[in-house]
Structure 1
Amino acid sequence: MSVTVVAKGQADSGGTRWFDLADSVTGDIRRVFLWVPPVPAPENGWPALWLLDGNAVIGTAVDAMRAQAFWPMGTNIGWGALIAVGYPTDEAYDSFRRSWDLGPPPGQAYPAFHEGGPPVKTGGGAEMARFLQQDVRAFLAEELPLDLSRQSLFGHSFGGLFTLWLLFTQPDTFANWIAASPAITWENGFLQAHLDRFHPTSGAARVHLSAGEWEGAELAPFQRGAPDAAARMVEKTQTRTVQAAENMARALAGRGLHVFYETYSDETHMSVLPMAVNRAIRWAFALTPEALPRLKGVSDAA
């Protein structure tokens, strides 16, 4: 299929290039960041880590790869390509568009982010999934060889929700699934219905789940005593990020998948991001993937 490249350029992160691609169905423009290792491609093509919220994470991912893949005996990390999908903006996020793209269907409508703005809608996850699998892959076929058996997906927050939803609905799309601080309880916990219908035919998929310590039952030290402390505690009782991620890990391990959960000490929902990206690098490009840890360290909290 033909993919329209609207614009392209060089990103300020270790040789990363970016390409603004027009969605072949909707015409919407998304930015794809591409980083390829400075060594010859493997015979079977590159393993690759696909990252959602690309604007926010590509620099961290490139630095992590450059610092570790050249020393495989000390890191167990081999070279691989980085494919990060975001938007044509200099900001870390396009909150309006990611709400639609990363929110699995059916979705809901919410008040505008600012007065006079359009209402915020979720539920465009199927559109985003098609864009990744058809448009981006068609474009990449002209840019570099990929080992389609060694593709991984990373998402944080809404991206983590999207990652789990795609695992449950299209489990053969990626080999490794990394969901950091996933919004599992979002929109009345509709993801549970997808989990209930998820019965993998093999345990080949590897899943890494994580959350920050201060996404549990307590506020971070700097948040305690703040004017919005009470409101934050109410939100915590609704999102239950740590508990939900732990329970999800147990559920997936019970279905025979290679699953690991970990809580990042002294981290909040947003500060987990660099640690989570680095962990995604490890899971995507491990030279001995069989050595990746399996489920342990999950509390008995129900």
Structure 2
Amino acid sequence: MTNPVRVYSMPGTCFFDLAPAAGGEPYRIFLSIPAERPPTEGWPLLVMTDGNATFPFAVASLVTQAPYPTGTNVGWGVIAAIGYPTDEPYDPLRRSWDLGPPPVKSYPPFVEGGPPVAIGGTDKLVDFIENELIPRIAEMVTLDPLRRSLFGHSFGGLFTLYALFERPGLFANWIAASPTIYWENSEILNNEAQRQLIPGNSAFLHLSAGEYEGDELAPFQYRNEDAAIRLEKRKTERTILLAQDMAERLNNTTDGLRAEFELYAGQTHMSVLAAAVNRAIGIAFAVDGFAVS
């Protein structure tokens, strides 16, 4: 007799769908809450974008490190990843609207005959996080309001920067992996130039990118038919350079924002996700003093 095949789920996790109070399609919230009793001040919280894709990485990273804090400097905390009601890792249309900063703009469809692609809804998602998501989780478990972190990758990294510049008091740690700073002629730099000051004079920004997001492709990519086009695109995007420059600028400010850049060796724009999420776990749930010093 063969053993029955069963559906696998990640222990200690759940999800629920939450529609914005102002209307619109629901988000799927992937949630991981420690089984232990929360500390007196409450659990630290890590909020993530692109939850369908990022949540499995985050949970795996947390549960393999938190039981061994003296060896990993990672303790337990709450993960809340914002995704969509789909089995796919991404919902391209909805994430474009949610993570693409204003002004509202429309672009050609992803596929011929499809709907146009719109961006500009980031303020609505930030409102949802602040006024609906975090309060909802706080009803379920005690949270430490001083230890909240936000993570985003690619367009999610751009969203993280936008939220930092527009609403800096919402999180203590801001983790922007491979942010698309180049988008719309680097419109985000205007937000940076007019950014709100850090309340309480203490916040941390971690910027990062993969080694092969600069002027060089990964070795295997040179063998692809689209190598020349891909290389030209990399030079236009300048992901590494723009993130490095931003980290240097912001680390020299006087309002308490500390910034750093990290390069992940051997990683491309997509393969970097696992390393970047692992670093987010280390920042959000650090035991020996969390990221803001």
Q: Where on the TM-score scale, by shorter chain, does this alignment land: which range?
A: over 0.9
Q: Does 1:210 align with 2:208?
A: yes
Q: Does 1:20 align with 2:17?
A: yes
Looking at structure 2, the residues matched to 234 and 210 of structure 1 have their Cα atoms a distance apart, in angstroms, of 21
Number of matched pairs: 284
Are the counterparts in 2 of residues 260 and 293 from structure 1 also a CA contact under 8 Å?
A: no
Amino acid corresponding to residue 252 of structure 2 in structure 1: G
Amino acid corresponding to residue 244 of structure 2 in structure 1: E
- The 5 A counterparts of 1:289-300 are 289=289
- The 5 A counterparts of 1:142-157 are 142-157=139-154
Deviation string 1:160-186 (CA, Å, 9 cap, x unpaired) is 000011100100000000000000110
Structure-2 change in CA distance of 1:230 and 1:255 (3 Å): same
The match for 2:245 is 247
The match for 1:7 is none
The match for 2:233 is 235
Are the counterparts in 2 of residues 102 and 123 from structure 1 also a CA contact under 8 Å?
A: yes
Deviation string 1:189-246 (CA, Å, 9 cap, x unpaired) is 1011111112635541011110000001111111114211111122112110000110
The match for 1:128 is 125
Amino acid corresponding to residue 209 of structure 1 in structure 2: L
Amino acid corresponding to residue 84 of structure 1 in structure 2: A
- State the shift of 1:150 in Å: 0.6
Are the counterparts in 1 of residues 166 and 196 from structure 2 also a CA contact under 8 Å?
A: no
Are the counterparts in 2 of residues 11 and 17 from structure 1 also a CA contact under 8 Å?
A: no
Are the counterparts in 2 of residues 159 and 179 from structure 1 also a CA contact under 8 Å?
A: yes
Amino acid corresponding to residue 270 of structure 2 in structure 1: M
- The 5 A counterparts of 1:166-245 are 166-198=163-195, 200-201=197-198, 203-245=201-243
Structure-2 change in CA distance of 1:254 and 1:66 (3 Å): same
The match for 2:281 is 281
Amino acid corresponding to residue 275 of structure 1 in structure 2: A
Q: Does 1:268 align with 2:246?
A: no
Structure-2 change in CA distance of 1:48 and 1:11 (3 Å): farther
Task: Give me the identity figure in percent.
Answer: 49
Looking at structure 1, the residues matched to 27 and 84 of structure 2 have their Cα atoms a distance apart, in angstroms, of 5
Looking at structure 2, the residues matched to 123 and 192 of structure 1 have their Cα atoms a distance apart, in angstroms, of 16
The match for 1:259 is 259
Q: Structure 2: any 5+ residue segments left out of the alignment?
A: 1-6
Deviation string 1:248-270 (CA, Å, 9 cap, x unpaired) is 10011011422221110010000
Looking at structure 2, the residues matched to 252 and 264 of structure 1 have their Cα atoms a distance apart, in angstroms, of 21
Are the counterparts in 2 of residues 14 and 63 from structure 1 also a CA contact under 8 Å?
A: no
- Compare 267-276 and 233-242 and name the one that shifted more: 233-242
Deviation string 1:9-46 (CA, Å, 9 cap, x unpaired) is x9822221100011111232110011011211111111
Looking at structure 1, the residues matched to 125 and 23 of structure 2 have their Cα atoms a distance apart, in angstroms, of 11
**Secondary structure of residue in 2 paired with 1:267:** coil
Structure-2 change in CA distance of 1:11 and 1:29 (3 Å): farther
Looking at structure 1, the residues matched to 51 and 235 of structure 2 have their Cα atoms a distance apart, in angstroms, of 29
Are the counterparts in 2 of residues 161 and 182 from structure 1 also a CA contact under 8 Å?
A: yes
Q: Structure 1: any 5+ residue segments left out of the alignment?
A: 1-9, 295-302
Deviation string 1:140-169 (CA, Å, 9 cap, x unpaired) is 132111111110000000000000111001
Looking at structure 1, the residues matched to 41 and 292 of structure 2 have their Cα atoms a distance apart, in angstroms, of 26
Q: Does 1:78 align with 2:75?
A: yes
Are the counterparts in 2 of residues 11 and 18 from structure 1 also a CA contact under 8 Å?
A: no
The match for 2:36 is 39
With normalisation by structure 2, the TM-score equals 0.93
The match for 1:57 is 54
Looking at structure 2, the residues matched to 106 and 204 of structure 1 have their Cα atoms a distance apart, in angstroms, of 29
With normalisation by structure 1, the TM-score equals 0.90
Deviation string 1:87-137 (CA, Å, 9 cap, x unpaired) is 001111001100000011113211111122110001000111111111212
Looking at structure 1, the residues matched to 19 and 162 of structure 2 have their Cα atoms a distance apart, in angstroms, of 24
